[in-house]
Structure 1
Amino acid sequence: MFINSKPILFSAVQPSGELTIGNYIGTMRHWSNMQNTYECLYCIADLHALTAINKKKKIKNVILDTLALYLACGVDPNKSTIFVQSHVCQHSQLNWILSCCSRFGELSRMTQFKLKKVQNCIENSNIGLFNYPVLMASDILLYQTNFVPVGKDQKQHLELTCKIANRFNFLHGNVFTIPKPIISENGSKIMSLLDPTKKMSKSDVNQNNVIFLLENISSVVFKIKNCITDSEHPPKIYHNTNKKLGISNLLEILSAITNKEINFLEQELHGILYSEFKSIVAEALSKFLLKLQKSYIHYRNNEFFLQEIIEIGAVRARLKSQETLNKVFSAIGMV
């Protein structure tokens, strides 16, 4: 049972394919410890994944893959609520109501929408992609969330969530809790391996830019040893996201998977060659991923256990979300 005095934390990941080391470092590595401080709700956001309509892989299988990764990352279903977004219809119900409190202009200015619109061409962009931030706001506000762990690139979405919540509260009374972001000082935005000016993305055309959590270890080693560093001579290993993007990115990855502070790593790695540094990162990352993958396989092979988790999680999430939805219906005068 949850302790009611704990602040509520909500986080979600799309089951739209394999997750990356960026997903893990930016968000998922913190989930295990957060369970001890917060009442945690961890959502598998399958409705959000539908915006990528060209995906052919069966979404049921991908949902179970994602759940197994949640467990491998230390999420405990006895401490946290783990559920599938589409199993809780209240998300879609609140989404429509909040859409009526959102502005076309503010949605069209969302950075990620503008980026995807350019990538996909406006004629191929679906309405779900445009409305994505409102559904995200519904996900968060539905549970009276106090805190949301986000990467720096997602901060704009949470700011919009707060704006929508404040607008609704102003019009209809104090219904929604205004959530606050939790942003990690380091690792909140892991960058591409060959172009460290852009974020690592699983949809990158060049897959050598990306490390996947379930990737073959020999492939991981190859990618790390061939990633971009810099041409400074003599080579120096220190964290500076203005001057040394590639080195800083590798330091953030190494820090996250070894639980060593970056300033400690800078001292430990002082004077070594870039090739040696890459080998150290590759070895540490390989060791980490092998352990994670072993745990993932253990959970993924027990589908009955996985189904039981999401069924129990759906019941918990429905009960909690309906409390908020009842407040919303009452506030706007619906029977």
Structure 2
Amino acid sequence: MSSPEKKVILTCAQPTGQLHLGNYFGALRNWASMIDDYECFFGIVDQHAITLPYVPAELRQATYRNLALYIACGLDPSKCHLFCQSHIIGHTELAWVLGCLCPIGQLERMTQFKDKSQREDSGFIGAGLLNYPVLMAADILLYNADRVPVGEDQKQHVELCRDLAIKFNNTYSETFRVPEVYIPKTGARIKSLQDPLKKMSKSDANQSGCVYLLDSPKTIRKKIRSAVTDSGSEVRAGKDKPGITNLLTIFSSATGRSVEDLEKQFEGSQYGPFKDAVADAVINALEPIQAKYEEIHNDKAYLDSVFKQGAEVAQKRAYKMISKVYRKAGFAPRT
């Protein structure tokens, strides 16, 4: 399956919470469109997920659930490499080497570190949260990825990865490719149904604002019907109508129709019938994903085989890179 002539794409997601519409329309669907043109490594980064308080049994369950959803969303294991971060030797080893090159002040200025540390209710901030971007850089550089598809909120982390790749290359010798930040233009930015000025998020305190990929049709319809709208009754997109704009974006993403076309269809319509139509479109879009998920999510033997298959390819590439890094860094060879 390995294609040396293809450029390497790597992108990962944490197995925290459930995947939602924003994850699918903004990321997963784009990932699926890349697997024929690139050699793709899609990781479930469970080691990142322990930087904040968590329940071990829930993390394990979420890791399998996310793998099943990845496959259900079109990430065919025969065409790409699906792996679990903790299954691969090399991520944390490379993170240590890169961490020794990374100024601590640069980590303290990271937007996500500042935001998450300020929101942490327990008052405890572990070093893992601070070092998160270094481990992310190791995730990318371990596979010598050419491109890293990310959302805008992760762009700063990939820029740090690029800085560390350049610094390592300059300190020791040319070793890493400097990866490109790749933000797909077709990735829809789905906002919260309850606060359309914020992105849809599984960590939102108001779960009515988030439509999960495994929500029942009844739940989806209830959430969309209760979505915040704007003054007036006109169904159109605009900065002055963030609620309706978000629903139009969701409708467009679910159907493939343009926002302009949908505006014309619902010209003169009330918000109620429009919301029902949005709900129908989302339910229809998620139906095949939910069906595939139901088919495979309880088949642990199958999911373990997918992880094993992905790990075999990922580990081979990781060993090659970490061996090169250790040699450049001056470590004595293992005998």
Same fold (TM over 0.5): yes
Q: Which residue of 2 aligns with 1:43?
A: 43
Is the 8 Å Cα contact of residues 2 and 79 (structure 1) preserved in structure 2? no
Q: Which residue of 2 aligns with 1:79?
A: 79
Q: Which residue of 2 aligns with 1:16?
A: 16
Q: Which runs of 4+ in 1 moved over 6 A?
A: none
Is the 8 Å Cα contact of residues 30 and 184 (structure 2) preserved in structure 1? no
Q: Which residue of 1 aligns with 2:236?
A: 237
SS of 1:123's partner is coil
* CA deviation vs aligned residue, 1:237-278 (integer Å, no higher than 9, x gap): 12x3x3222222222222222222333333343332222221
Is the 8 Å Cα contact of residues 187 and 256 (structure 1) preserved in structure 2? no
Of 322, 325, 334, the residue aligned with 2:322 is 325
**Residue 75 of structure 1 aligns to which amino acid in structure 2?**
L
| CA deviation after TM superposition for structure 1 residue 58, in Å | 3.5
Is the 8 Å Cα contact of residues 30 and 187 (structure 2) preserved in structure 1? no
Q: Determine what percentage of the aligned residue pairs are the same residue.
A: 39
SS of 1:143's partner is coil
* Structure 1 residues 234 and 278, CA gap change in structure 2 (3 angstroms): closer
Q: Which residue of 2 aligns with 1:298?
A: 295
Quote the RMSD (CA, aligned, Å).
Answer: 1.7
Verify: 1:117 aligned to 2:114, yes or no. Answer: no
Distance 2:44 2:154 in 1: 17
Using the size of structure 2 for normalisation, the TM-score is: 0.94
Q: How does 1:57-206 map to 2 (within 5 A)?
A: 57-121=57-121, 123-206=123-206
Distance 1:187 1:270 in 2: 26
Is the 8 Å Cα contact of residues 67 and 306 (structure 1) preserved in structure 2? yes
* Structure 1 residues 172 and 266, CA gap change in structure 2 (3 angstroms): farther
* CA deviation vs aligned residue, 1:87-125 (integer Å, no higher than 9, x gap): 002001001111111111111111111111111158312
Is the 8 Å Cα contact of residues 117 and 125 (structure 2) preserved in structure 1? yes
* CA deviation vs aligned residue, 1:177-211 (integer Å, no higher than 9, x gap): 11112223354532111111112111111111111
Distance 1:141 1:263 in 2: 41
Q: Which residue of 1 aligns with 2:312?
A: 315
Is the 8 Å Cα contact of residues 233 and 271 (structure 2) preserved in structure 1? no
Is the 8 Å Cα contact of residues 35 and 79 (structure 1) preserved in structure 2? yes
* Structure 1 residues 287 and 234, CA gap change in structure 2 (3 angstroms): closer
SS of 2:234's partner is coil
**Residue 112 of structure 2 aligns to which amino acid in structure 1?**
Q
Is the 8 Å Cα contact of residues 153 and 189 (structure 1) preserved in structure 2? no
* Structure 1 residues 181 and 262, CA gap change in structure 2 (3 angstroms): farther
Size of the aligned set, in residue pairs, is 332
Distance 2:244 2:169 in 1: 46
Stretch moving more, 160-169 or 34-43: 160-169
Q: Give the gaps of 5 or more residues in structure 1.
A: none
Q: Which residue of 2 aligns with 1:28?
A: 28
Distance 2:147 2:260 in 1: 28
* Structure 1 residues 225 and 315, CA gap change in structure 2 (3 angstroms): same
Q: Give the gaps of 5 or more residues in structure 2.
A: none
**Residue 252 of structure 1 aligns to which amino acid in structure 2?**
T
